[in-house]
């Protein structure tokens, strides 16, 4: 084998042994999914041995990568960390395919990477992933409703502290209303745990409310406060759509544009309504 091929094989080895240890450590932390995670870790180790047999060398795992994915799993959950890691394997699978017909047994490695591990990953059960739909509902409604309300209130009232207080009261009431609606909706669908679904919806709504009204309690100019709200809203959309696109394997671009256009479109319409109401009713605060 030429040196370039050997270097590729050593890179594959390092990747497989690194992911083996990621799965092993995740299995230690998550007893509920421990069996599935250990099975995937076993697959990764078999792949490592396959490449070791060709290179004749031992390779150490990438400790930095292990720490990175363990940290991500603590913040965003195991499913998100694993799917992010596995998304990076598409490049490895393409690299493997270059060796079809050149290295005996490479086809079974590719088959494992694409089919078997994907099937095992789908078996992982994580509570927050089960309630992604409820979180999307809470976040999306809060973004659409509150950005619109704050935009309208900004021009109608033109007092940042007053807008913030009104927005907070509106947001708290809406969060409880959304949670109640989700509870009744899930209960009518005979969902196993409607209370938890309602909790996730209400919590996502409430956190979004706090994020959106924060600029009105920090800044004194309502234009700047509204700009801050729109920036925070955009950040929330960006973060959440990235999370959903990874765990649900959906198009990030489509989700992001859909949520951003809805939220900012309604905010623009509401701002114009605020202008009309202030002018028509002669509001002066």
Q: pLDDT tens digits, residue range 10-36?
A: 888 898 899 999 999 999 888 888 888
Are 105 and 186 members of one domain? no
Q: Which residue has 């795992």 as its token pair? A: 61
Are 97 and 222 members of one domain? no
176-220 pLDDT per residue, tens: 998 898 888 888 877 778 888 899 889 988 998 999 999 999 998
Q: Which residues of 195-228 are buried (b: 16+ CB within 10 A; e: fewer)?
A: ebbbbbbbbbbbbbbebbbebbeebeebeebbeb
If you average pLDDT over residues 30-51, what whole number do you get?
Answer: 87
Residue 100: pLDDT over 70: no
pLDDT score, position 166: 92
pLDDT score, position 29: 85
Are 60 and 200 members of one domain? no
Are 104 and 194 members of one domain? no
Residue 120: pLDDT over 70: no
Are 158 and 275 members of one domain? yes
141-186 pLDDT per residue, tens: 888 788 878 887 887 788 899 999 999 999 899 889 988 988 888 8
| Domain of residue 184, residue span | 131-281
pLDDT score, position 282: 62
Domain closes at, from 126, 146, 166: 126
pTM of the model: 0.69
Are 153 and 60 members of one domain? no
Q: What angle do CA 33, 34, 39 make, to 5 degrees?
A: 105
If you average pLDDT over residues 270-280, what whole number do you get?
Answer: 71
Which region among 125-129, 214-218, 243-247 has the lowest average model confidence (pLDDT)? Answer: 125-129
The rounded mean pLDDT for the chain is: 82
Are 108 and 172 members of one domain? no
Measured distance CA(142)–CA(158) in Å, rounded: 22
| More confident of the two residues 283 and 281 | 281
Q: How many domains does the chain have?
A: 2
Domain closes at, from 126, 157, 178: 126
Ranges of H-type helices in 63-218: 63-76, 78-87, 89-97, 106-111, 117-122, 127-130, 132-157, 160-188, 194-218
Q: Name the residue among 64, 59, 16 with its Cα closest to residue 40.
A: 16
Domain closes at, from 126, 159, 176: 126
Residue 102: pLDDT over 80: no
80-96 pLDDT per residue, tens: 888 888 776 555 666 66
Q: Which residues of 120-143 are buried (b: 16+ CB within 10 A; e: fewer)?
A: bbeebebebbebbebbbbbbbbbb
């Amino acid at each position: 084998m030429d040196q370039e091929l050997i270097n590729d094989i050593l890179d594959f080895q390092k990747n497989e042994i690194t992911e083996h240890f990621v799965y092993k450590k995740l299995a230690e932390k998550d007893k509920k999914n421990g069996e599935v995670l250990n099975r995937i870790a076993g697959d990764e180790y078999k792949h490592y041995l396959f490449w070791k047999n060709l290179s004749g060398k031992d390779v150490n795992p990438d400790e930095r990568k292990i720490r990175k994915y363990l940290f991500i799993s603590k913040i965003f959950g195991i499913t998100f960390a694993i799917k992010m890691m596995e998304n990076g394997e598409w490049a490895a699978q393409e690299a493997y395919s270059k060796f079809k017909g050149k290295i005996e047994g490479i086809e079974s490695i590719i088959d494992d990477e694409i089919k078997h591990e994907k099937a095992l990953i789908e078996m992982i059960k994580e509570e927050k992933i089960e309630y992604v739909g409820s979180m999307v509902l809470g976040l999306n409604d809060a973004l659409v409703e509150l950005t619109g309300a704050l935009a309208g209130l900004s021009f109608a009232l033109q007092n940042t502290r007053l807008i913030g207080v009104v927005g907070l009261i509106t947001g708290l009431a809406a969060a409880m209303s959304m949670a109640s609606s989700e509870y009744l909706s899930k209960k009518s669908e005979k969902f196993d745990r409607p209370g938890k679904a309602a909790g996730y919806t209400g919590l996502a709504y409430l956190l979004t409310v706090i994020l959106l009204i924060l600029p009105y309690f920090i800044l004194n100019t309502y234009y700047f406060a509204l700009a801050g709200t729109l920036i925070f809203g955009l950040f929330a959309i960006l973060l959440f759509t990235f999370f959903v696109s990874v765990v649900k394997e959906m198009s990030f671009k489509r989700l992001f544009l859909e949520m951003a256009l809805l939220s900012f479109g309604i905010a623009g319409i509401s701002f114009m309504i605020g202008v009309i109401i202030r002018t028509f009713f002669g509001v002066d605060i």
